[in-house]
Structure 1
Amino acid sequence: MDANDRSIAGFTMTGHALVHWFETSIPILLVVWLAEFDVSVALLGLVVALGYAPFGLGALPGGILADRYGTKRLILCCLAGMSLAFLIISFGTSIYAVGVGLVLWGIAASVYHPAGLSLISTGVEERGTVFAWHGIAGNVGIALGPFVAATLLIFLEWQLVTAILAVPGILAVLYGLTADFDPTAAVADDVAAGANEALSLSDLTENSRVLFASAFALVFVIVTFEGLYYRGMLTYLPEILHDLPAMDGLAIPAGLEGIEPSHYIYVGLLVVGMGGQYVGGKLTDRVEPARGLVALFAVFVLLALAFIPVTQMGLGAVIVLCGVFGFFLFAIQPFYQDAVAVYTPPDTRGLSYGYTYLGEFGLGSASIAVGGVVLGEFSITVFFLVIAAFALAGAVLSVGLLSGFGRFSGPEPQYETSADD
C-alpha cells in the first residue's frame, strides 16, 4: 500500500473499531441499568432499542451527507458525537436521560459505515486489502467493547465506566484532525472534481433511480438477506449456546464461579472472525464479488443446518463449529462491500453505502423479531432452518448477480491473476 492508502486505512480502522466498541458495550451496561433504575425489562429494552434503531435507519441519510460534506468531516463528527453521547449517559440520573444519550449515540454512529466505506472505495488503490483490515478493526472493537466494560464494572461505578469508554473516541478525534490523505485518489479526476457538490431533491431522486435501475438493486436485496442471517445468528447464538446440553455440568474453578463458558465461546467466535475478514478482503482482489457471494452464502446454508445436529453433541464439536462459523460469517463482508464499489458509480458511493447499511443494519434487524417468535413458539431446529432459508435466498440472488443481470454500465472490473491461472 502507498502512503495515502495507509493513512486512509489507519483513519477508517480507528473509526470502525470505535463504532463497535461503543455498540457492544451497551448490552453490558444494560444489566447494570436494570438494577440501578429499578425499571422493567420491557421498558429498558424499549429505551435501548430506541438507541439502536437510528444506527441502521440513519445509514441512508449518512450516505447522502457523506456525498455532500465529505467523508473525513463526517467521520470526525461521528467520533465526536458518539463520545459526547457516552459522556451524557455518564451523567444520567434516570433511565430517560440514559435513553437520550443512547439515541444521540445511534444517530452519530449511523453515519460511519456509509462514510468510511465510501472513503475507502474512492481513496484507496488496494481496496480489497483495506476492506479486510477495516473489517478486522471492527471485530477488534466488537470483542474489546464488552470485555473492557465488564472488567471495569468489577472495580468502578457504571457512570465512571461509561465516561472512560468515551476517552478513546475523544483521542480518535484528535488523531483524525491530523490525518492527511486524498479521499478521491482512486477515482478519475472528473469524478473527484464533482464530489461534494450539493444535491437537490431531484438529483437525489434521480441518483437513487439510477442506482435501483442497475445491479445495485440486486446487491441491496442480497445485503439485506446477509443482514437477516447475521443479525439473527449473532443475536440469539449466545442464548442458544448457554442452554446447550454440552454446557451442563461444566466444572468452573473456585473463585471463577461467575464465569459463563458460553460467553467465552461467543467472544472466541468474534476473534476468529478477524481471520475471516482478512482472508475475505484479500480474496476480493482476485475473485469477482458476485462469485464470492454465491460461494459464501452456500457455506452459510450448510453452517446453519450443521448447528441442528451439533447442538446435541459435545463441547468440542460446538467449539469447532462456532470457530468455522465465525470465520465465514465475517469473510463475506469484504465481498458485499466490494460489490457495492463494483456495481455503482463513484460519485454516488456514499449514497450507495447508505442504502447498503440501511439493508444490513435496518431491514436486517427484522430477523431479531422473527427469531424471537420462532424460538419462543417453535424450536431451535426451526430457528436454524429459517436462518438457512435467509442464506439460501442470498445465494440464489447472488447467482443472478453473477449472471450479469442489470450490471452497471461502467468499466468492467479487473481481477488479479497469478502466473498459474
Structure 2
Amino acid sequence: MACRAMDFAVAIPLGICSPQKRDVKLFRVKCSVVSLTENAAVSGSGGRPWKVSDARLVLEDGTIWKAKSFGAAGTQVGEVVFNTSLTGYQEILTDPSYAGQFVLMTNPHIGNTGVNFDDQESSQCFLGGLVIRSLSISTSSWRCVETLGDYLSKRNIMGIYDVDTRAITRRLREDGSLIGVLSTEESKSDNQLLEMARSWDIVGVDLISGVSCQAPYEWVDKTGNDWEFNTNGRPGETFKVVAYDFGIKHNILRRLASYGCKITVVPSTWPASETLKLQPDGILFSNGPGDPSAVPYAVDTVKELIGQVPIFGICMGHQLLGQALGGKTYKMKFGHHGGNHPVRNIKNGQVEISSQNHNYAVDPASLPDGIEVTHINLNDESCAGLAFPSKNIMSLQYHPEASPGPHDSDPVFGEFVDMMRRVKANA
C-alpha cells in the first residue's frame, strides 16, 4: 500500500438560529495513513498496520529508550531538558535559547494543531531534537499549513514519539539534566551511542555565536492587531533601542515596537563603542542559549555599556548583567522550561505566571550592594529579576513577551519605556 493523505471538510453549525439562517463554518482535518508496505520493510513482520520502533534515545546514565521516529533521520547529541508547557510547541521549536538541547514535552499530545508561519519565534529551528509521548495523526487548526513531522523533516530536526516521557522526566528531576543521543541508525551500537553521550558536554560552549544575526538590521513590526492584548498606556514618543541578539525571539521585538520603540538589532559581538555611536535611548540584552560564562566577550560588552544608557536584560541578558555587575552564575539542576512558572514580583507583591527557559541562574548573594532582587521564582526561590536603580538597569530571568502566553509580565516593557523617558527628560 502506498502512503496516502486524506483531507476531510467538516461542517460545524454555529449558533442556535433557524435552519434557514444558520451559519456553517468549515475547517479542514488532515490525516496521514501509514503505509503497510513501509512498516513491513521496517519490521520484517510481513506487514504490521502500525509503525514499529526504529529510533533510540541513549542517556549518559546508561539508560536506553526505544522509540519511533518522525522528522529527520540520523544521529544527534544534545542535553535533554523537559518543558511543562501545554501549548506552543512551535514557539519552543523556534526559540534560539534551545540550541544544543533535546526538548522533552511533558504534555503527552503534540502535533494536533500542526504548524503555521505566524507562530515562529525565529526564522529556523535551533533545538537538537523533540521528544514526545504521542504524535497526533491529524491536524485540525484552520491556521495549519503543514504537519509537525513534515516541518521538522524540511529543517533537518529529529523527533521521536511513543517513549515514556513521564519516566524520563522523573529521572531528569532526580538526577538533573542529562546528555543524550538520538539515533535512527541501526549501524551504531548502544555502546557507541553511550560513548557519544558521555564524551559531549554543553557546559563552557559558546552557543550564542551560532544563533546571533551576522549584521545589524532594523526591526519595525509590531504585535498584530489580532493578537494585541494590551493597548493601555502607549507613549506618543519614539525611543531608539539597540537590541543585542544573543538568540532574540521575534515577539520580544514586537512587544518593544508596540510600546513605541524604534529598534536596531545588532550581533552578539557588536562593539560597545559602535552601539554608543547610534545614540540609543536604551539597550536590550536578549535571551539566548547556553552558559553565560562561555561568552566573556559579551560580558565585557555589557560592562562597557553599564551606566551609559538605560539597560533591560532578559534571560541570558539578565545572566550577563549579573556577571558584569560582579556577581556569579551557576548551572541549575534541571533548569526552568515551561509556560507556568509562578514568580513573585517583590515590588508590588503580586504573583505572575511566567514563561521560562533557562539552565543557569544568578546567585544574588554574590552581587554587590545597591543591586536589588525584584522577582523570585516561587518553585525554588531562585533569582528571577534584578534592578540597579543608580545605573538605570533592570532585568528578568524569564520571558515577559511570553508567546503564546501567559501575559502577566508584559507591563515590564512599559517600565523599560518609563525608565528611558525619565532618563531622557533629565538629560
> Is TM more than 0.5 here?
no
TM-score of the superposed pair, with normalisation by structure 1: 0.25
- Structure showing greater Rg: 2
TM-score of the superposed pair, with normalisation by structure 2: 0.24
